[in-house]
Amino acid sequence: MLYTVSGIAMWPRWWNACNMKDELSQANLLILFSILIIFGFLCTIKKSRNVAASLPPGPRGLPFVGYLPFLGTDLHRAFTGLSRVYGPIYKLWLGNKLCVVLSSPSLVKEVVKDQDSIFANRSPSIAAIAVTFGGNDIAFSSYGPEWRKLRKIFVHQMLGSSSLDACYDLRSQEVKKSISDVHNKIGVPINIGQLAFSTAINAITSMLCGGILQGEMETNFGAEFQGVVTELMVLLGKPNVSDFFPMLARFDMQGIERKTKKIALWCDRILSSAIDKRLNANANAVTKKGAGKIEQRKDFLKFLLDLKENDDDAKSITLSQLKALLMDIMIGGTDTTSTAVEWVMAEMLQHPNVMKRVQEELTEVVGLDNRVEESHLPQLHYLVAVVKETLRLHPPLPLLVPHCPSQSSVVGGYTIPKGASIFLNVWAIHRDPEIWNTPLEFQPERFLNDSKKLDFSGNNFVYLTFGSGRRVCAGLPLAERMLMYILASFLHSFEWELPNGTKLEFAERFGIVLKKMRPLVATPSPRLSNSKLYTL
Ligand code: HEM
């Protein structure tokens, strides 16, 4: 009751005075609090405005779907067109997914060098998860201890130079088999991409598991596997509505998840069969060894199976990781390599004087009475320049594999929120007239005696065929050897020309790997002095 008006009126004076003081300080406090709250509120508004304002510029798109309906199928070209309007860093919304596209060397450097540990993360698509046993591989797993462990095993133990030297004979045998096959078809037009793919897959499976996949490979395995991988690369590169609207994912409206899972099942069947056969072969070898007879074969698969059995968590891998690693090698290593071979051969058929110079170099270094060996490769400087120039114009992964920041960050003065998909448009950088003289012309000479020392390591951000930083291509040492060895062998062993009446064209088919739209076909004729050089 103290607070009734009449009650207050009855209070003695001194109490009133004290009360007035209190009221004053209460009012002050109230004002202070109000100011703080308003200030805080204004700061929050300003901050949120700042974040919104500091996102990169970009096209508006439509409500809900964003820019999705306008992208078309050739993402690399669409992204390059947009960078002419919005500059070298811009954003676009695909459904509710924020994508940021970068197309200048200095911005790429900020991502793959200055802030590499933040941007080395991935945000795998539904298709990528489906085909990598739940994102258990190297290419699509999150940046963290498991990725680090897998990458270390892959790069240092499996693809280290001593390990690659040790299995050179297996690669060499497969290249020689291909050369011999082509020699049996002299005068017949050959699908170059198919030839390169079957050479690469045979070399890789031979290194992985020796003859263990022979059963699977009898019925034209190479061609079937190539068809499967080509389809997969398109599925992996295609914008998928389910990725942009997770609530629609269960409808799988474009059928991408269903098709990818079918491919994953097909691959799983082959890998499981190889694993079973290897385990049986090991068991037999142990039994025979017990009887004092035989040594076990040590290939990549055996090495990985041993890791699976390792008790030390820091070294051991799960069955899913083992299979996903095999997929990385078989899929990541074949289509990229054969696509690169096809583009190089196409450019050389388009520029016969370049092909002639490459062959003269081969004659000088290898000799017409000899076959190419990997040991010749370091001396083939002009061929290296031709390969680099081709991969400048036709980088097999034109947008790399999208990166994803694990925390919000600032690039080029703009905020890049955590979880955005980052596309590094290497295709645009490789054709930028600010960086390259006459960028659309095929001039291998620009890579001869180049002062910038442009190599495949990604240390110079104007040339990024294999990516750069922590996520640079994990298969680079093998890729470089196989690509050069296959090309040098094809070009040293045969003259190549377009079949009569055919025309060369350079149309592209976009997927995560950028391929030639129509397969390159060329007719071989022998070049070497002795037909014995074509036999096994
Ligand atoms: C001409 C041949 C090849 C090209 C042009 C190529 C290019 C690339 C590119 C651009 C990336 C992504 C880099 C990034 O996201 O920043 C990559 C990643 C990768 N590549 Fe290759 N590659 C080739 C051959 C190979 C081979 C032969 C293998 C395996 C034996 C391989 C295995 C991988 C793996 C595992 C990754 C994922 C790396 C990671 O995310 O940590 N690649 N490659």
pLDDT of 117 higher than 60: yes
Integer Cα distance of 126 and 257 in angstroms = 7
H-type alpha helices, 291-380:
300-308, 319-332, 335-350, 352-365
Task: Report the nearest atom of ligand 1 relative to the CA of 472.
Answer: 13
CA of 475 to the centre of ligand 1 (A): 6
Q: DSSP characters for 400-442?
A: -S-BB-SS-EEETTEEE-TT-EEEE-HHHHHT-TTTSSSTTS-
pLDDT level of residue 279 (50, 70, 90 thresholds):
confident
Classify the C-alpha dihedral 80-81-87-92 as positive or negative.
Answer: negative
Q: Please classify residue 477 by burial: count the beta carbons closer than 10 Å to its beta carbon, then call 0-12 exposed, 13-18 middle and 19+ buried.
A: middle
pLDDT of residue 478: 96
Q: Counting Cβ atoms within 10 Å, is residue 352 exposed (0-12), middle (13-18) or buried (19+)?
A: exposed
pLDDT(531) > 80: yes
**In 158-255, which ranges are continuous DSSP H helix?**
161-166, 168-183, 192-209, 214-217, 221-237, 241-244
Identity at 421, one-letter amino acid code = S
Rounded to whole angstroms, how far apart are CA atoms 315 and 72? 44
CA of residue 455 to ligand 1 center, whole Å = 15
Q: Which atom of ligand 1 is nearest to the CA of 147?
A: 41
**Residue 132, pLDDT score:** 93
**pLDDT level of residue 297 (50, 70, 90 thresholds):** low
Which has the minimum average pLDDT: 76-90, 290-304, 498-512?
A: 290-304
pLDDT 10s digits, 180-233: 999 999 999 999 999 999 999 999 989 988 766 555 554 567 778 888 888 998
Among 473, 482, 484, 485, residue to substitute to test ligand 1 (most atoms within 8 Å of Cβ): 473
pLDDT at 49 over 90: no
Q: Where are the domains of the chain?
A: 1-54, 116-534
Centre of ligand 1 from the C-alpha of residue 417, in Å = 26
Fold of 116-534: Cytochrome p450 (1.10.630)
pLDDT digits (tens, 9 = 90+) for 161-195: 999 999 999 999 999 999 999 999 999 999 999 99
Q: How far is the CA of 55 from the centre of ligand 1 (A)?
A: 30
- Mean pLDDT score of the chain, rounded to an integer? 87
Kindly tell me the burial class for residue 427, based on how many C-beta atoms sit within 10 Å of its own C-beta (0-12, 13-18, 19 or more): buried
Q: Quote the ligand 1 centre to 44 CA distance (angstroms).
A: 43
Q: Which residues line ligand 1 (CB under 6 A)?
A: 138-139, 151, 328-329, 332-333, 336-337, 340, 396-397, 400-401, 465-467, 471-475, 478-479, 483
**Any known ligand binding at 209?**
no
Residue 13 has pLDDT above 90, yes or no: no
Q: Which of 84, 114, 115, 83 is nearest to 99 (CA)?
A: 83
pLDDT band of residue 278 (cuts 50, 70, 90) is: confident
Average pLDDT of span 479-502 = 97
Listed residue (353, 425, 346) closest to 390, CA to CA = 346
